[in-house]
Amino acid sequence: MTPEGEALLCQGADELKITLDDARQAQFAALMTLLQEANTKVNLTALKTETDIILKHFVDSLSCLRGGHLDGAGRVLDLGTGAGFPALPLAIMRPDTIFSPLDSIRKKIDFVRGAAEALGLGNVQPQVGRAETLGRDPAHRDTYDRVVCRAVAALPVLAELALPLLRPGGLLVAQKGPIAEDELEAGRRAATELGGRVTTVDAFALPVLGDARTLVVVEKVSPSPSKYPRREGVPASQPLF
Ligand code: SAM
């Protein structure tokens, strides 16, 4: 990472009230190199420049820490992690939390696994699979303290995919851009159907760039009905609301 990139990363983190020590800065620099190298061979992410990766992947992922919603979490599933966002930046910042990046595309998880190993992140347990399948598997259903997800689906779809995976009292922390009132309303109804309740809608500006972002937090207050999630692909193709 260039000196300008390091300064930009620290500025973005500062605006989120996050301090990056030298070891963590080195991990972000190593992740940048791995991502840019891998992206020349496999299409992992549309963001290619150092500035875009720093602000729209690294800093944007760190914004998930706003509000302390991940504090005290033991196990966090990153639903639809892609090239490891937000899971890898969060795992760098929270070594005592186990992060499980999940994606249905094997080549993406292969990258995440290799990157976690190269960065020495012993708290990352990547998985290839679909959220619908995990949500019906007793080894995963009702087990996670948090589900995080960024840029995966509309809120009603996320509610169906994520809430069955959470333990009672667990939180879905969904990173969104500006969220329309009708998506939020549909999300509230889907959350209720799945045993959840929207507790926080935190609108803020992405550090440095100022782009609109929203963290939507849904608490699981009661068990999800056993008919959910529906079979693979159905939550997205036929959203509940
Ligand atoms: N979260 C990453 C980010 O913000 O850079 C990736 C976002 S990408 C647009 C969405 C990812 O979600 C894709 O890699 C896709 O394979 C994955 N995905 C979508 N639906 C999924 C599901 N039901 N189960 C597992 N992965 C899913």
Q: Tell me what ipTM this predicted complex has.
A: 0.99
When pLDDT is averaged across residues 4-22 and rounded to a whole number, the result is 96
Nearest residue to 226 via CA among 135, 133, 129, 153: 135
Q: What band does 20 get if pLDDT is binned at 50, 70 and 90?
A: very high
Averaged confidence pLDDT in the chain: 97
Atom 1 of ligand 1, nearest CA residue: 81
According to the model, what pLDDT value does residue 43 have?
87
Rounded Cα distance between 80 and 135, Å, is 14
Structural domain includes residue 56: no
Percent residues over pLDDT 70 in the chain: 100
Question: What CATH number is attached to the domain comprising 229?
Answer: 3.40.50.150
Q: Taking 90 as the threshold, does the pLDDT of residue 45 lie above it? A: no
According to the model, what pLDDT value does residue 127 have?
98
* Count of the separate structural domains present in the chain: 1
Structural domain includes residue 43: no
Q: Taking 90 as the threshold, does the pLDDT of residue 80 lie above it? A: yes
- In short, whether 103's Cβ falls inside 6 Å of ligand 1 is yes
Structural domain includes residue 60: no
- Provide the total of helices (H) and of strands (E) in the chain, helices listed first: 10, 7
Structural domain includes residue 1: no
Domain range enclosing 164: 69-237
Q: Answer with the residue of higher pLDDT: 64 or 42.
A: 64
Structural domain includes residue 22: no
Residues 6+ apart with CB under 8 A from 231: 132
- In short, whether 108's Cβ falls inside 6 Å of ligand 1 is yes
Q: Taking 90 as the threshold, does the pLDDT of residue 118 lie above it? A: yes
